[in-house]
Amino acid sequence: MKLNVPAHILAIPAYVPGKPVEELERERGVRGAVKLASNENPLGPSPQAVKAARQALSGVHRYPESGGYELTRALAARLDLAPGNIVLGNGSDEIIGMLATAFLQPGDEVIMARPSFAMYEIAARAAGAVPVAVPLADYCHDLAAMAGRVTPRTRMVFVNSPHNPTGSMVRRAALEALLAALPADVLLVLDEAYIEFVRAAEHPDSRDYVNGDRPVVGLRTFSKAYGLAGMRIGYGIMPAAVAEVLHRVRQPFNVSLPAQKAAAAALGDLRFLERTLKTVHAGVDFLYDALREAGLDCLPSQSNFLFFEVPRPAQAVFEALLDRGVIVRPLAGYGYPQHLRVSVGRRAENLRFIEALRQVLGA
On the 0-12 / 13-18 / 19+ scale of CB atoms within 10 A, 340 is: buried
pLDDT of residue 130: 97
pLDDT of residue 33: 82
pLDDT of residue 6: 84
CA–CA separation, 92 vs 189, rounded Å? 12
CB 303 within 8 A of CB 139: no
Nearest 5°: CA angle at 289, between 292 and 310?
A: 35
H or E segment and range at residue 350: helix 347-362
Burial 185-224, CB ≥16 within 10 A → b, else e: ebbbbbbbbbbbbbeeeebbebbebbeeebbbbbbbbbbb
CA–chain centroid gap for 23, Å, is 23
CB 139 within 8 A of CB 168: yes
CA–CA separation, 65 vs 81, rounded Å? 20
Dihedral of CA atoms 204, 206, 212, 215 in degrees, nearest 10, equals 120
Residue by residue, what is the 3-state secondary structure of 116-165? CCHHHHHHHHHCCCEEEEEECECCECCHHHHHHCCCCCEEEEEEECCCCC
Other CB atoms within 10 Å distance of the CB of residue 149: 15
pLDDT of residue 28: 66
What is the full DSSP assignment across 54-119? HHHGGGTTSPPPTT-HHHHHHHHHHHT--GGGEEEESSHHHHHHHHHHHH--TT-EEEEEES--HH
Residue 135 phi, psi dihedral angles, 5° rounding: -60, 150
CA–CA separation, 96 vs 93, rounded Å? 5
Closest listed residue to residue 78, CA positions, set 135, 70, 166: 70
pLDDT of residue 335: 94
CA–CA separation, 254 vs 63, rounded Å? 10
Residue 219 phi, psi dihedral angles, 5° rounding: -110, 125
H or E segment and range at residue 343: strand 339-343
CA–chain centroid gap for 270, Å, is 21
Other CB atoms within 10 Å distance of the CB of residue 300: 15
Tell whether omega for the bond before 330 is within 30 degrees of 0, i.e. cis.
no
Going from the N-terminus, what domains does the chain have, and what CATH number goes with each?
A: 7-36+271-362 (3.90.1150.10), 47-269 (3.40.640.10)
CB 37 within 8 A of CB 327: yes
Cβ contacts of 252 within 8 Å, gap of 6 or more? 63, 66
Name the pTM for this structure. 0.93
Residue 312 to residues 80, 125, 154, 296, 331, Cα–Cα distance (Å): 48, 34, 39, 11, 13
pLDDT of residue 19: 64
Q: What is the pLDDT along the chain (363 residues), one digit of tens a residue?
A: 778 888 888 887 777 776 676 776 667 666 778 999 999 999 999 999 999 999 999 999 999 999 999 999 999 999 999 999 999 999 999 999 999 999 999 999 999 999 999 999 999 999 999 999 999 999 999 999 999 999 999 999 999 999 999 999 999 999 999 999 999 999 999 999 999 999 999 999 999 999 999 999 999 999 999 999 999 999 999 999 999 999 999 999 999 999 999 999 999 999 999 999 999 999 999 999 999 999 999 999 999 999 999 999 999 999 999 999 999 999 999 999 999 999 999 999 999 999 999 999 995
Count of alpha carbons within 13 Å of 138, Cβ hemisphere only?
Answer: 4
H or E segment and range at residue 188: strand 187-191
Residue 313 phi, psi dihedral angles, 5° rounding: -50, 130
